[in-house]
Amino acid sequence: MNAKELMTLSIEVGASDLHLNPGRPPVGRVDGKLVSLSTEVVDDATAERWCRELCDDKHWDELLEVGTTDIGLAHESGTRFRVSCMKQRGRFGAVLRLIPSDLLTFDQIGLPDTVQQLLRRPLEKLPPHPQVMRLQLPWLAHFTPPPHRMWLPLSP
C-alpha cells in the first residue's frame, strides 16, 4: 500500500485524520475514535517511504534538515489534505488532516452561542472605532498603537 492509497482509504471510511507511525498500523480518526485502517504494522522503512511520497524535494530537504515539514496536498478526488511529516528519534511519521470542502455552520464547528450572536449583530451596533473611543475614555487618549499595526476606520 502506498500513501495515495491510504489517503483514498481514509476518504472512503470518513476519517478526519490519518496517522502514519512506525510500530503500529495506519490509523484514521473516524467519528472521534482512532480506528486501524489495516492489520499490517508499519515498519521504519515504510514510514520513511510514505513520507518521501508525500513530500516534494523542497519539503523533503526541510524534513531532513529541520525534522518537520508541513504541506498542502490535493487528492485526485478533489479532497484536500494538510500534511505534517516529522522525524523523531530517527523515525519518520506523518499526520494528514482532511480539509473539508463544504463550509461548516457555526454549530458544526462548535462556536458558542454568545459569539454567534456577536457575529450576527448589525455593524452599526458594534463598539466604536478605537480612534473614537480615545475621545470618550481619557485613559485611552495616551495610547499610541504600535507602528507595525494599521488602524482602519470601520464603515457604518
**Which pLDDT tens digit goes with each residue over 20-35?**
999 999 999 999 899 9
- Counting the structural domains of the chain, the total is 2
Q: Are residues 81 and 112 in the same domain?
A: no
Q: Are residues 65 and 19 in the same domain?
A: yes
Q: Are residues 113 and 153 in the same domain?
A: yes
Q: Are residues 24 and 64 in the same domain?
A: yes
- CATH number of the domain bearing residue 19: 3.30.450.90
* pTM exceeding the 0.75 threshold for the entire prediction: no
Burial level of 47, CB count in 10 A (0-12/13-18/19+)?
Answer: buried
Q: Which domain does 69 fall in, by range? A: 3-99
Positive or negative, the Cα torsion across 113, 114, 118, 122?
positive
22: Cβ–Cβ under 8 A, 6 or more apart, which residues? 42, 43, 44, 46, 47, 91, 92, 93
d(CA 124, CA 145): 24
d(CA 11, CA 7): 6
**Which pLDDT tens digit goes with each residue over 35-90?**
999 999 999 999 999 999 999 999 999 999 999 999 999 888 888 999 999 998 89
Q: Are residues 55 and 110 in the same domain?
A: no
